[in-house]
Structure 1
């Protein structure tokens, strides 16, 4: 990367990381996208931001298509480019935002993996392992109930502390992307599962720790008494899904997707679900407003005057 782009890129990363408070992983993704974009521009002899044209941006997206990148990947890279060009315009590094009129390529619409309410029930019942009081079983049940009750990200589940939970008020505090906190309700099922875990399971897991100073803060502990990891949560979700006989793709985010979809289907408005999920933009939340084919058919049959 030559000096024509170096300073602007450094300022951009500081802007999104410090001023906008985006998560480190998000900043890293932006950095990677912009670095690849600039490297491609320089192969065309473009070494200054103001030398970029709309055609260059369109040609770059076309090059990504030729490289076999998915529509989702291309859309994400273009979003990074849009953000970079808007910043460049704001810094007076360019005289116009040449990327503004370039649209993301259309691809097949993909919906997130979602469980039905019945499948979630089967999953959570399987986590209980027939009412076992084994500390690990109690933890797994509490963890999965917590994730479905709050719609949290896996990082939020692993990061939650004891003092983030108020079982009397049925409230949990989550630390989201960019260190942004939000309060979410805890349903009665989750509260009961967490109470059972705290009364019997967590203390036993803490005692298994070989560390000189036991883990006093984390809500969810692993078998060695340390804060549970993301990988462990993935394994718990997968193993529980197999016991429940669920054949759909299953990962921690499936519970988050299901949480949002079930709220929307139950009548919650998109703006409320956005707040519960901790989305910065309501556009991200709108993917959950999809309507199932079954619902479409039922609505048609009950509403259209000549459907029957």
Structure 2
């Protein structure tokens, strides 16, 4: 396990900068810690301080880890070094950013997995159908799961955003949820009637009983989604529960919680939503990130072309 206390002071300062000034999430800070610990160990082997690193040193470090990391991980580590040296230059702790002269590896262009609309409908409705026939102790959790599945698909939330929701973030009357996304960027996202009904039933019939659990204290008191002990529901628990509902619904594939976010965006696009509106709903900083969904909706784009281009038809 990487330990920030073992890093050189300038790297420790950078990690503190991430948490305070850039307001990085705990997950992001942990990833930076791992990457910088590996880089610091490599520098120690060379007998170099961070301030004296050159582009050749950065390339040597990336070459060292390439055997154990894929191109996506290597690119992430290079990005971490670029951010580190940008900070060191700004603070006067380094003269130049050696990572800027190093090219990023080509990343595989994998399109996100998307389920057809009817498969998503079957999946999110499965908990309610099963709740009627389950043991009384299991039925409340099924109703809770229906609520978070409807909200994941209905609002395109990241699973970490879902688990971080507090009660004041929900406005059932208006059908809106306030989301704190990456870098603590806030956005307001609507959700539909199905999600509203599932949430209302969960909050009225299920959450009060879960809140009586022994772990219902501290931040869990405000949490929207609770586990059976009354604590805040974790991202791992959401994924595990989703796996169970995928099996129960008979879908012949694995479904990660993030797939529902992809389905949200793709189905909106397929039904005529504007790409920039989808960008705002997803909380993407760049439109280029959202544009990958256009590659998935080739059928609708082909129809638009046939209808709009003067030379599309003979």
2:10 corresponds to which residue?
8
User: Following the alignment from structure 2 to structure 1, what is the Cα–Cα distance between the partners of residues 121 and 277?
Assistant: 24
2:141 corresponds to which residue?
136
2:63 corresponds to which residue?
62
User: Following the alignment from structure 1 to structure 2, what is the Cα–Cα distance between the partners of residues 298 and 144?
Assistant: 31
Aligned: 1:153 with 2:158: yes
Change (3 A) 1:17 1:129: same
DSSP 3-state at the match of 2:101: coil
Kept in 2: contact 1:300–1:307 (CA 8 A): no
Count of aligned pairs between the two proteins: 302
TM-score (normalised: structure 1): 0.83
Kept in 1: contact 2:111–2:296 (CA 8 A): no
Change (3 A) 1:200 1:82: same
Q: Which runs of 5+ in 2 are unaligned?
A: 134-138
Larger mean Cα displacement after TM superposition, 223-232 or 238-247: 223-232
User: Following the alignment from structure 2 to structure 1, what is the Cα–Cα distance between the partners of residues 157 and 79?
Assistant: 25
Aligned: 1:18 with 2:23: no
Kept in 2: contact 1:171–1:186 (CA 8 A): yes
1:222 is displaced (CA, Å) by: 2.7
DSSP 3-state at the match of 1:144: helix
Aligned: 1:83 with 2:88: no
1:108 is displaced (CA, Å) by: 2.3
Measured against aligned partners, the alpha-carbon deviations of 1:10-53 in whole angstroms (never above 9, x if no partner) come to 2211221101111122112112212212322332332241x222
DSSP 3-state at the match of 1:220: coil
Change (3 A) 1:97 1:206: closer
The within-5 A match list for 1:168-179 is: 168-179=173-184
Change (3 A) 1:281 1:12: farther
1:272 corresponds to which residue?
277
User: Following the alignment from structure 1 to structure 2, what is the Cα–Cα distance between the partners of residues 148 and 211?
Assistant: 28
Change (3 A) 1:47 1:236: same
Change (3 A) 1:101 1:130: same
TM-score (normalised: structure 2): 0.82
Kept in 2: contact 1:126–1:243 (CA 8 A): yes
1:53 corresponds to which residue?
54
1:108 corresponds to which residue?
108
Aligned: 1:38 with 2:43: no
| CA RMSD in angstroms, aligned pairs only | 3.1
DSSP 3-state at the match of 2:112: coil
Kept in 2: contact 1:218–1:227 (CA 8 A): yes
Measured against aligned partners, the alpha-carbon deviations of 1:214-264 in whole angstroms (never above 9, x if no partner) come to 975332233344433333211221111112222232122221222233334
